[in-house]
Chains A and B, each alone.
Chain A
Amino acid sequence: MKKLIATSAIALLASTSFAAAEVGACLVTKTDTNPFFVKMKEGATAEAEKLGIKLSTFAGKIDGDVETQISAVESCIAAGAKGILITPSDSRALSPVVTQAREAGLIVIALDTPFEVPDTADVTFATDNFAAGELIGTWARKKLGAEAANAKIAMLDLNPSEISVDYQRNQGFLTGFGIDVKDPYDIGDEDDPRIVGNDVTNGNEEGGRTAMENLLQKDPSINLVYTINEPAAAGAYEALKAVGRENDVLIVSVDGGCPGVQNINDGVIGATSMQFPLLMAAKGVEAIKAWADSGERPTVSAGLDFYNTGVTLITNEPVDGVPSISADEGLGKCWG
């Protein structure tokens, strides 16, 4: 059955196979539901149109849908595409098929999520999630000033799997705030007394609220909340509002989705690190075009093993030494 679907997908694609002169490219995202990937697709489609590239898009059904992504890559190879842009649902399981694609002469660019061995793809275009966390951590430290030494911090993470984006943002925030993170790949191994505790949110409002309630039960004097993303931050705010603490607790987050940026204007979130899915995708399409035209390979950012598409701090209360833009400016750049 699975094979049948895969074969028919290939057949379907082969029938619309790229004409010899045309440069074909594929975009394979994790899902079609997350606004982040929806925006990524928009960015890639727009750039491909501009450059005259024929772009085919694929997406898994849910985050972690490896099989659909594998058959998508196979279809792209069969259709004779020049390059593949992919956000791997599983940074290990997709390695073999990606290697296969590169052996078949395609350029493979990982977007947003690096492969476990970054060299698996030709290059990775991604947000530096550690830097995104570090920005809000530094901002929070400077915002609290002398009080930072007595902060009571709640850490609202993603889920029990502790995937890379989860620990990178978490550990980045703590580093920026000036807390020793111990093992940089492990969430929750810190022993700084300022950390009240960690809990998971699944990156949504319901989880954010429940996690915040739980940590407030542990220590009602929490005054700084790190959140993995803006929906979790909105949930945390509701929990604080329920106990009348919404005005004396600082919430920081990462993402740059439009509701999140609006929440900065409404005083829900103090600061958020915005990432740029549109830019990631556009850069990827450009790189495929450059490679198809001149054989030129994209390079990584200095000191990193990927090309950093950048983060911008959004806040209405800027602090010295941390460059930021206001929420009103951010609304022009937000995604979703």
Chain B
Amino acid sequence: MSDTAHTKDAAEGKTDNNQTFARFEQTDKSVLDRIQHVLHKNPTIVPVLVLMVSIAVFGMLAGGKFFSPFNLSLIMAQVSIIGILAAAQSIIIITAGVDLSVAAIMVLMSVIAGKLAIDVGVPAPIAVVLSLVGGVLAGGLNGFFVTRLKLPPFIVTLGTWNIFYALVLWLTGAQSIRSQTIDATAPLLKFFGNYIAFGGARLTFGSILMVLVFMALWYVLNKTAWGRHVYAVGDDKEAAELAGIRTDRILLSVYAVAGFICAIAAWASIGRVGSISPQSFYEANLHSITAVFIGGISMFGGRGSVIGALFGALIVGVFQSGLRLIGVDVLWQVFAIGWLIIVAVGIDQWIRKVSA
């Protein structure tokens, strides 16, 4: 087979020095194959393209309102919380896990910060620090169950999602802490609701925080030994173990870091929402998973860039804003996001085949 292909090439006068192996199974490289290869090397290209195309399409359909600096900065603000949660979610998914408790950790930590600062009278900076520590502990608890008790992440975080949510209701009696109360006693909690205005845009501190979280996480995952180990564990845990990586320790730290990022999201969420609301973000865990998958991170672990999750969150935001401005009923927005997920994971599966 390869012989004939080779002979054919030779006959056609093609000069290929190093293509023999590539040609072993496929005699002709189609455009599609090339695309597949490029995407396999750079999985973030797909979400970037989808984001650019959707911005262009909605810009045309919805007109100037969509393209206004104000609207674009508003989309950033609206996705900022889901975006930060998606950052936490992405490192878990890179280890081939999943974390259903991210939003519950976030809401719990926002409630803890609020209760400490407002009801107990702890100075606001200390309340924030304590809630960040709480995030590490909550994430660490997930990690403990996953690594020590060897329970599947899905089950562990399904459990802790319920546990943390119940604690939220117990602490608050399902009652919000009002915006006016926070303003009066602990305005620091709403720090990330401030914004920088320029040229009609309003970049909230929360939006900037989201970008910074992603940049920091990208750096750590790609430029440090810890980050490479995280990818290695996600790609093939046994192989990583054989290579001398202490995989359980890496996994535990990943869950703790995710919990910490959730606690950062908690602080940002108070600025975004205004009040501390136990009923908000109930399904934000699923939205964060949506952003991660649309961002081209593989659910089988070890592959995909965290920056993809940022684009994934932005794509969802652009779709929602665009469809609303056109005047499409909410249920069709839900419909569209559903298709986005399936198409995104479909593309991911297709890209994976290149290595098969």
Binding site for A on B (CB under 8 A): 65, 71, 74, 78, 81, 169, 173-176, 178-180, 193, 202, 269, 272-275, 277, 279-282, 321, 324-325, 327, 329-331, 334
Residues of B within 8 A of A214 (CB): 321, 324-325
Interface centre among A33, A199, A213, A235 (most CB of B within 10 A): A33
Q: Which of A33, A235, A268 has a CB less than 8 Å from the CB of B169? A: A33
In the assembled complex, the CB of A39 is this many whole angstroms from the nearest CB of chain B, namely: 10
**CB closest chain-B residue, reference A62:** B282
Residues of A within 8 A of B78 (CB): 210, 213
Are B281 and A206 in touch, CB under 8 angstroms?
yes
Interface-facing stretch out of A83-91, A131-139, A258-266: A258-266
List 7 other contacts, CB 8 Å, given A206-B272, A206-B281, A259-B176: A33-B169, A188-B329, A205-B279, A205-B280, A218-B324, A235-B277, A242-B193
The CA of A181 and the CA of B113, in the complex, are separated in Å by 44
**CB closest chain-B residue, reference A241:** B274
Are A206 and B175 in touch, CB under 8 angstroms?
no
Known pairs A160-B331, A214-B324; A38 contacts B277 (CB<8 A): no
The CA of A336 and the CA of B178, in the complex, are separated in Å by 14
In the assembled complex, the CB of A246 is this many whole angstroms from the nearest CB of chain B, namely: 11
Residues of B within 8 A of A152 (CB): none
In the assembled complex, the CB of A199 is this many whole angstroms from the nearest CB of chain B, namely: 7
In the assembled complex, the CB of B278 is this many whole angstroms from the nearest CB of chain A, namely: 8
**CB closest chain-B residue, reference A229:** B279
Are B277 and A205 in touch, CB under 8 angstroms?
yes
Residues of A within 8 A of B281 (CB): 206
Are A266 and B180 in touch, CB under 8 angstroms?
yes
A-B contact pairs, 22 of them (CB 8 A): A38-B174, A204-B277, A204-B279, A204-B282, A205-B176, A205-B277, A206-B269, A206-B277, A206-B280, A213-B74, A217-B321, A217-B325, A218-B65, A231-B279, A235-B277, A238-B179, A238-B275, A241-B274, A257-B175, A262-B180, A266-B178, A336-B174
Known pairs A235-B273, A259-B176, A266-B180; A218 contacts B325 (CB<8 A): yes
Known pairs A33-B169, A213-B74; A336 contacts B274 (CB<8 A): no
Residues of A within 8 A of B324 (CB): 199, 214, 217-218
Residues of A within 8 A of B81 (CB): 206
Q: Which of A203, A242, A262 has a CB less than 8 Å from the CB of B279? A: A203
Known pairs A217-B71, A231-B176; A205 contacts B275 (CB<8 A): yes
User: What 9 pairs across the A-B complex have the smallest Cβ distances?
Assistant: A238-B274, A206-B280, A205-B277, A204-B279, A204-B280, A160-B331, A33-B169, A206-B273, A160-B330
The CA of A266 and the CA of B274, in the complex, are separated in Å by 15
Are A205 and B329 in touch, CB under 8 angstroms?
no
Residues of A within 8 A of B327 (CB): 197, 218
The CA of A316 and the CA of B334, in the complex, are separated in Å by 39
A234 contacts partner chain B, Cβ-Cβ < 8 Å:
yes
A207 contacts partner chain B, Cβ-Cβ < 8 Å:
yes
A209 contacts partner chain B, Cβ-Cβ < 8 Å:
yes
**CB closest chain-A residue, reference B173:** A35
A34 contacts partner chain B, Cβ-Cβ < 8 Å:
yes
In the assembled complex, the CB of A239 is this many whole angstroms from the nearest CB of chain B, namely: 9
A271-286 vs B, Cβ < 8 Å mask (1 yes, 0 no): 0000000000000000
Are A200 and B330 in touch, CB under 8 angstroms?
yes
**CB closest chain-B residue, reference A239:** B274
Known pairs A262-B178, A263-B178; A217 contacts B65 (CB<8 A): yes
Residues of B within 8 A of A263 (CB): 178, 180
The CA of A82 and the CA of B169, in the complex, are separated in Å by 32
The CA of A320 and the CA of B273, in the complex, are separated in Å by 36
Residues of A within 8 A of B175 (CB): 35, 257-259, 336
In the assembled complex, the CB of B62 is this many whole angstroms from the nearest CB of chain A, namely: 9
In the assembled complex, the CB of A67 is this many whole angstroms from the nearest CB of chain B, namely: 16
A237-264 vs B, Cβ < 8 Å mask (1 yes, 0 no): 1100110000000000000011100110
Residues of B within 8 A of A238 (CB): 179, 273-275
A45-73 vs B, Cβ < 8 Å mask (1 yes, 0 no): 00000000000000000000000000000
**CB closest chain-A residue, reference B283:** A202
**CB closest chain-A residue, reference B62:** A217
Are A234 and B179 in touch, CB under 8 angstroms?
yes
Are B65 and A231 in touch, CB under 8 angstroms?
no
Q: Which of B169, B173, B176 has a CB less than 8 Å from the CB of A234? A: B176
Are B274 and A160 in touch, CB under 8 angstroms?
no
In the assembled complex, the CB of B72 is this many whole angstroms from the nearest CB of chain A, namely: 11
The CA of A268 and the CA of B74, in the complex, are separated in Å by 22
The CA of A268 and the CA of B41, in the complex, are separated in Å by 53
